[in-house]
Amino acid sequence: MFALVDVNNMYVSCERVFRPALNGKPVVVLSNNDGACIARSNEAKDLGVKMAQPWFEVKHLERSAGLIALSANFELYGDMSSRMMALAAGYAPRQEVYSIDECFLDFEGMSGDLAAIGRELRHQVLRWVGLPTSVGFGPTKTLAKLANHVAKMSDRKPGTYPERLAQVCDFERLAPAELDEVMRRTDVGDIWGIGRKTAPKLHEAGIRTVLDLKRADAATLGRQFSVVMQKTVRELQGTPCLEVDDDPPARQQIMCSRSFGDAVTELSDLIEVVSGFATRVARRLREQQGACNAVHVFIATSPHRKQDRQHSPTATLPLPRSTADTRALVNAAVMALRAIYKPGYRYVKAGVMLVELQSSKHEPTSLHLFDDVEEAQPDGRRNLMATLDALNERFGRDAVGIASASKRSAHSQHASRQERRSPRYTTRLDEIVVAKT
Amino acid sequence: MLRERATVSASTPRSRVAISFGSPAGESGVTRLDLNEILIRNPQAAFLVRIAGSAMREAGIDDGDLALVDRALDANHGQVVIAVHQNEFLCRRLCRRDEALGLQAPAPDVPDIWASEADNVDVWGVVTHVIKQVSG
């Protein structure tokens, strides 16, 4: 059994923990340049604000409907994410952090009332961290993701699905006919791994609902569309094709993480691992012609080794400008790692996630120029630096100067384009919550 | 460039609270006392809050103090809490009388606040420790 745990409207929910006045109000969070809406409260969704909609298109709602827009505060979101992930990890033998606001849990070998476990998890994250989540259970990752969708939608829009599926939804507890009915009410476009371009094609082929897709022939669709589609259909039919830590079929967020066979304690080893991850995600980012705005790094001790001291920190490093450059991303990931690493802990997992992806078409530099860098597997900090230094020598002093350049340009740029950013309540001592007496 | 940590966000207060005595003592396997471990029982639920105002002075909490807040704990009668009242964070002593929830301060001129349908009070977290700077 798999669970998908997902924070509702993550960025807005993070803001609301520290700004209670935002509760019940329409709120959007804007991308790096305050250009587009990358998160929306339910109230903002009800006003008709679309995902990724340019801010200028909805700005008029500020006056007419009291819409509140905030600049993205990735440091805050990254820290709140790490808290949520650390709590969720304690509930199952295996966890796959899938994006900044969602993770899969693999309950293989566990029995009992999973929905009750899900409610407990949900309650703990809400209470401890302040974030509302939805939890979906299913025998495959695709079904768990669908169950999560059902849990979220029935909470947000009562009547969409049976009320008892709200917040925590366990497909195993549904009779086959009930599950079919849920699938009949759900558009194929809401399925994990079916993109905006694929959904209309399926519609044309007469496959409108998830139930239609489940009843389709996997092999035929596989030939018509892709191997991914074939897997998706099999997963809907209940046959697991994706394991935890398998590459997800869709890449809205790019993430690379692994659990280690043996615990790692040395910084140099972690740098090697994290550099490798950053190199891989950078390559994937360029494959989809994307660029990202922040790098999120986490390392974790094992919550199941109670005898070990626990330390599962994360860091999110906002980038001065969106990029897909391997050097900038490796650099940022290692910086973040150095800030969170503490000696004396047995780390069993690490990951690098690229946050806030966007199309790179406005990215001025050539993205493929430095691809050869990727083949260099940095062997610890010295080799990493040597690699970067060699690059510097080869391509000019500013080539690798992303992080230091950020210092120079960050102040001027951030000042103008993050006008609406709230304080970084959990990562900067001079920005913490103030309580009056 | 890797030294510029000012732009890096570390995550949990555990790794950020700048009050640690130091790092582990290396190969001996013995580690120094770590204030994070001493003070923070639930790292994922731990938050730092700055106190503003003197209404809680008699309770040992003064203007400028750092309050360590644990959101995992049940808020009991008599405990100091961070509450949300009229959308603002307020540090008060919690008072439970039957079903009613009240917020009190020891300063004589500060009126009690009692939760009602119209005037909601939410307990955000329980203050477990207060950190005061006395010199330096």
Largest CA distance in chain B: 60
pLDDT tens-digit map of A312-352: 888 888 887 778 888 889 988 998 898 889 888 999 989 99
Q: Is residue B96 part of a domain?
A: yes
With a cut of 50, say whether residue A148 has pLDDT above it. Answer: yes
What is the predicted pLDDT for the residue at B30?
Answer: 78
Q: Residues 6 or more apart from A178 whose CB is under 8 A from it?
A: A162
What is the predicted pLDDT for the residue at B112?
Answer: 93
Q: Residues 6 or more apart from A152 whose CB is under 8 A from it?
A: A6, A8, A134
What is the predicted pLDDT for the residue at B29?
Answer: 67
With a cut of 70, say whether residue A6 has pLDDT above it. Answer: yes
What is the rounded CA–CA span in Å between residue A354 and residue A323?
10
What is the predicted pLDDT for the residue at A372?
Answer: 36
ipTM: 0.80
Q: Is the CB of residue A427 less than 8 Å away from at least one CB of chain B?
A: yes
Mean pLDDT of B89-110: 92
How far, in Å, are A39, A232, A275, A290, A371 from residue A356 at the CA level? Answer: 11, 25, 20, 10, 22
Q: Is residue B136 part of a domain?
A: no
Average pLDDT, chain A: 83
What is the predicted pLDDT for the residue at A325?
Answer: 86
Q: In this structure, are residues A336 and B10 in contact, taking their beta carbons and an 8 Å threshold?
A: no
- Only one residue has tokens 């103008």, namely A416
The model carries a pTM of 0.74
Confidence of residue A398 (pLDDT cuts 50, 70, 90): very low
CATH code for the domain defined by A254-400 = 3.30.1490.100
What is the rounded CA–CA span in Å between residue A143 and residue A147?
6
Is the backbone of residue A306 left (phi > 0), alpha (psi -120 to 50) or beta?
alpha
Domain A1-172+403-437: give its CATH superfamily: Reverse transcriptase/Diguanylate cyclase domain (3.30.70.270)
Confidence of residue A131 (pLDDT cuts 50, 70, 90): very high
Q: Is residue B94 part of a domain?
A: yes
User: How are beta strands A254-264 and A347-359 bridged, if at all?
Assistant: antiparallel
What is the predicted pLDDT for the residue at A376?
Answer: 35
What is the predicted pLDDT for the residue at A298?
Answer: 92
- CATH code for the domain in which residue B76 is found: 2.10.109.10
With a cut of 60, say whether residue A184 has pLDDT above it. Answer: yes
Question: Within chain A, which residue ranges are assigned CATH 3.30.1490.100?
Answer: 254-400
pLDDT: which is higher, A325 or A166: A166
Q: Is the CB of residue A346 less than 8 Å away from at least one CB of chain B?
A: no
What is the predicted pLDDT for the residue at A391?
Answer: 54
Please report the DSSP string for A211-278 in residue order. HHHHHS-HHHHHHHS-HHHHHHHHHHTT-----TTSPPS--SSEEEEEEEEEEE--HHHHHHHHHHHH
A positions 33-92 inside 8 Å of B (CB): 75, 78-79, 82-84, 86-87
With a cut of 80, say whether residue A37 has pLDDT above it. Answer: yes
Q: In this structure, are residues A327 and A399 in contact, taking their beta carbons and an 8 Å threshold?
A: yes
A positions 325-344 inside 8 Å of B (CB): 331, 334-336, 338-340, 342-344
The full 3-state SS of A23-81, as one line of letters, equals CCCCEEEECCCCCEEEEECHHHHHCCCCCCCEHHHHCCHHHHHCCEEEECCHHHHHHHH
Question: Within chain A, which residue ranges are assigned CATH 1.10.150?
Answer: 187-241
With a cut of 70, say whether residue A269 has pLDDT above it. Answer: yes
Question: Within chain A, which residue ranges are assigned CATH 3.30.70.270?
Answer: 1-172+403-437
B104: nearest CA partner in chain A: A437
With a cut of 80, say whether residue A406 has pLDDT above it. Answer: no
The domain total for chain B is 1
Instruction: Give me the sign of the Cα torsion angle A60, A16, B48, A102.
Output: negative
Give the architecture-level CATH label for domain A187-241.
Orthogonal Bundle (1.10)
